[in-house]
Amino acid sequence: MSTETNVQEQGYETFSYDDRLTKMFVIATMLWGVIALFLGVWIAFELASWKLNLNLPWFTFGRLRPLHTNAAIFAFVGNAIFAGVYYSTQRLLKTRMASDILGKIHFWGWQLIIVGAAVTLPLGISSAKEYAELEWPLDILVALIWVTFGVNFFLTLKQRRERHIYVAIWFYIATIITVAVLYVVNNLALPVGFMKSYSAFAGVQDALVQWWYGHNAVAFFLTTPFLGLMYYYVPKAINRPVYSYRLSIIHFWSLIFVYIWAGPHHLLYSTLPEWVQTLGMAFSVALWAPSWGGMINGLLTLRGAWDRVRKEPILKFLATGVTFYGMSTFEGPLLSIKSVNSLAHFTDWIVGHVHSGTIGWNYMMTSGMLYFMVPKLWNTKLYSNRLANIQFWSATIGLLLYIMSMWTAGITQGLMWRAIDETGKLVYPNFVETVVKILPMYWVRAFGGTLVLFGFVVLVYNVYKTIKNAPKEQQEETFKALPLSANPIDAHGGSHRKLEGLPLYFSVLAFLAILVGSVIELIPSLVSNQFIVKDSRVRPYSALEVAGRDVYVREGCYTCHSQLVRPMAAEQLRYGRVSEAAEYVYDRPFQWGSRRIGPDLHRVGKKYSHMWHYRHMLNPRDVTPGSIMPNYPWLYKNKVKFGVLPKKLSVLAALGAPYSEEEINRAPELAKMQAKTIMDELVADGVPAKMADKEIVALIAYLQRLGIDMAEDKDEVASTK
Amino acid sequence: MKSQVLSNFAWTDLTVVAFLIFLGLFIFAVYWTFRKGSKDFYDNVGNLPFDEGQPLTGDKK
């Protein structure tokens, strides 16, 4: 690349980088970072002390957890990715982004989506699919804005002045393509109204698609872009090239190929076909190799410079980030091994695992990247290294407290759930015992999270001061470089150039790599619809139960409750019969959940009286002392919207539920009749008759229906009391 | 009943097929990156982050 001297001056083109756009994303990263982390801390305290749910719908755990996860992933990490990508892409390709306008649309569109999420999720407008809770209008907006980003990116590639495409750019390309595919497929749904839809997939299939998405959101939103960023910012910060460029290529292809298969490790011991589970587990374990290849490559880039790592905050954050990447990608495959998974699944261990990824890897890398970029972007020096060090220690200690408390809580609770004494009975039959036991750990976790948040606030202050002290006159730096046409493909290594220098060709290959796994894994299961014997005993939900289910979805009950009894002795003892695939065929979306903060609910139908639920939902501690479940007083005020039921049922019918014309047209009337039968019992227990049209009745109808269709005889249900 | 057909639908061979595809890809990637004469090329590409074009204005470092 030392062609400058001997080429004529007029061959050069001059250009500048669109750093305004990067700066905007930097600011947005900090703003949303504080909010996402604050939300996390808030809901952590809600679990430690249920009163913080404030008895208000918008603040309950079930509604705020989706906001926290979406804010952390798409707002905080998302904006950080865009900042890092725009900064590095322009420099690696020696060109300004193709279009300033598209960049601005991307920026403001993305912020609009986030604001939309911040408004709709607390209002309970949610599709109840984890990390994809946004409803369809926002989903469409996400897709459009993502495409805008992609178009601008590919146009920029086209007008680049550097023929070779550095590996970081590969990771960005894989990210752009895969996230688009994942997001669109997983959010396929049929709208019922402006802010409500039913998933195009049901039950087991919905679960498979959801976790193919969910896992790969981790892979292609939280991991691949950050690996790209790692390959750019670590060499930049230490001022030497990556340890092994060759390894980075092997890392890239192995990682994207293997990752896409691993989703089913979220569904081990579920009713998912066995071969899909095995596939997911095998590839998850295999994932260990490319992940560690990448980590080692990152860390070895810092070899022999550890004294600098100890002194310079940027390197400290980056090195810690890469180390935690290694840790969580070790833990992930471990958790995918079936026997480990049987203990860890549904416990806080998984929650700890996720946070060692998002805080350890994404937060640390983002911080390092910000400390690197901000002084460069604003043409100044960092305000305070000391503050950066304070953040580092605060965040690191906070994170360690977080991880260790969650390990303890998860393993403790997991062991308590499965403990069976000599007589074959559960040692802790009362679920709430296992909750009370780990409450101290919830305080430790909340405190750890607070330290992480505090560290980030320090970063924001530090960056604010840095920017304030920067020279007021900021002019865009101009650069010169030769156009691509002046840099013909040279003789040696010709075929490398062909593959690694042709973005389109390359993108197609990357697309194929992720397609292979997706197609082999998803298609047979999706068409296997014809293979699931639809058990004739399983009937679609009644109109009132549909209304109740929508309340369940709106309140985010799945953030605390699973609906999946796994084939294990302890679960059968605790909950009842093992769940079967045929039972879920009308579940749109499926609600298996991923964490049992409360007990599984798949066999809760007919377990308790209507009155028990009535009292429990109003104040869980009334019937279960020590419970940490929020109160739901508004369900006793809100009326069921009977009028929309025909519409809802007809949409479900369009998706395959066998409702008759009559059931659809007379839905409001039939729902009221069912409410009446529930009310008869409640009134006998002293509930005022005017409650008949309230949401609580619909919710009770739904809860009482859960998991009873296939009971061999109805007595069996009653005897599990 | 336990969705017998589903569990009979055991495409365990797919795991093997998938693994073989991956193995092929991996071997090819290794072969590709270690091809003769590629060292200079990769050394060059690995240095790309340090070449941002020549500054004309602003602070000249």
The per-residue pLDDT for A500 is 56
Residue in A158, A92, A66 with CA at minimum distance from that of residue A503: A158
Q: Helical H runs in A528-581?
A: 543-555, 569-575
Alpha-carbon distance B7 to nearest alpha carbon in chain A (angstroms): 6
Domains parsed from chain A with CATH numbers = 5-471+493-521 (1.20.210.10), 543-705 (1.10.760.10)
A531: pLDDT confidence band, cut at 50, 70 and 90? low
User: Does A477 sit within 8 Å of B58, measured CB to CB?
Assistant: yes
Percentage above 70 pLDDT, chain A = 94
Count the Cβ atoms, other than its own, within 10 Å of residue A439: 14
ipTM of the complex: 0.82
**Interval A308-312 mean pLDDT:** 92
Contact A275 B2 (CB under 8 A): no
Does the beta-carbon distance from B22 to A254 stay under 8 Å?
A: yes
Contacts of B33 in chain A (CB under 8 A): 246, 249-250
Q: Check pLDDT > 50 for residue A520.
A: yes
Q: Which residues in chain A have Cβ-Cβ distances shorter than 8 Å to B7?
A: 273-274
What pLDDT is attached to residue A8? 46
DSSP A53: G
Question: Closest to A478 (Cβ–Cβ): which among B40, B42, B57?
Answer: B57
Peptide bond into A589 cis (omega under 30): yes
* Chain A interface disruption, residue of B1, B7, B11, most A CBs within 10 A: B11
Residue-level pLDDT at A475: 78
Nearest by CB to residue B44, choosing from A1, A92, A531, is: A1
**Separation of alpha carbons A577 and A602, rounded Å:** 9
Inform me whether the pLDDT recorded for A671 exceeds 50: yes
Residues 6+ apart with CB under 8 A from A150: A176, A177, A180
- Give the DSSP H/E element, type plus range, for residue A578: none
Q: Name the residue with higher pLDDT: A280 or A489.
A: A280
User: Least CB-CB distance to A245: which of B11, B42, B55?
Assistant: B42
What does the pLDDT read at residue A712?
65
CA A569 to chain centre: 31
**CB within 8 Å: A236 and B33:** no
Taking only the tens place, the pLDDT of each residue in A456-494 is 999 999 999 999 999 987 778 889 888 887 765 554 445
Counted across chains A and B, CB pairs separated by less than 8 A come out at 160
CA nearest B2 in A: which residue? A580
Give the pLDDT of residue B6. 47
Q: Give every CB contact of residue A608 below 8 A, 6+ residues apart in sequence.
A: A616, A721
Q: Which two tokens stand for residue A248?
A: 């980075």
Please state the domain extents for chain B: 1-35
pLDDT given at position B59: 46
Out of A15, A477, A531, the one facing B6 most closely (by C-beta) is A531
The predicted structure's pLDDT at residue A496? 53
Whether B45 sits inside 8 A of A245 (CB atoms) is: yes
The predicted pLDDT at position A477 comes to: 84
Q: Mean per-residue pLDDT for A386-413?
A: 98
Contacts of B60 in chain A (CB under 8 A): none
Mean pLDDT of A498-516: 79
* Confidence at A304, pLDDT banded by 50, 70, 90: confident
Express each pLDDT in A632-670 by its tens digit. 999 999 999 999 999 999 999 999 999 999 999 999 999
At A434, the pLDDT band (50, 70, 90 cuts) reads: very high
| Cβ–Cβ below 8 Å for B37 and A481 | no
Q: How confident is the model at residue A604 (pLDDT cuts 50, 70, 90)?
A: very high
A550: left (phi over 0), alpha (psi -120 to 50) or beta: alpha
Range picked from A138-147, A259-268, A269-278 for highest mean pLDDT: A138-147
Quote the mean pLDDT of chain A: 92
Q: Which residues of A touch B35 (CB under 8 A)?
A: 496
Predicted local distance difference test score (pLDDT) of residue A653: 97
B12-47 pLDDT per residue, tens: 677 777 788 888 888 988 888 888 888 888 888 899
Which residues does chain B have within 8 Å of residue A582's beta carbon, measured at their own beta carbons? 1, 3
Buried b / exposed e along A362-391 (16+ C-beta atoms within 10 A): bbbbbbbbbbbbbbebbebebbeeebbebb
Is the pLDDT at A713 greater than 90? The verdict is no
Q: Would you say residue B10 has pLDDT above 70?
A: no
What is the per-residue DSSP string for A129-187? Answer: -TT----HHHHHHHHHHHHHHHHHHHHHHHT-S-SS--HHHHHHHHHHHHHHHHHHHHT
pLDDT digits (tens, 9 = 90+) for A534-555: 788 999 999 999 999 999 999 9
For residue A438, the surrounding DSSP H or E stretch is helix A431-469
Under 8 Å between Cβ of A202 and A655: yes
- CA nearest B55 in A: which residue? A479
Is residue A155 predicted with pLDDT exceeding 50?
yes
CB B9 to CB A4 under 8 A? no
User: Mean pLDDT across the stretch A126-142?
Assistant: 96
Mean pLDDT for A195-204 is 94
Please name the residue that has the structure tokens 């960023």: A229
Alpha carbon of B61: minimum distance to chain A alpha carbons (Å): 11
Q: Do B40 and A492 touch (CB under 8 A)?
A: yes
Work out the pLDDT band at A504, boundaries 50, 70, 90.
Answer: confident
**Contact B29/A253, CB-based, under 8 Å?**
yes
Distances (CA, A) of A137 to A68, A187, A188: 20, 11, 12
Cα torsion angle, A230, A236, A238, A239, sign: positive
Min distance A261 CA to chain B CA atoms (Å): 9
Q: What is the mean pLDDT of residues A239-247?
A: 95
Q: Say if residue A684's pLDDT is above 90.
A: yes
Instruction: Examine the pLDDT at A305 and tell me if it is beyond 80.
Output: yes
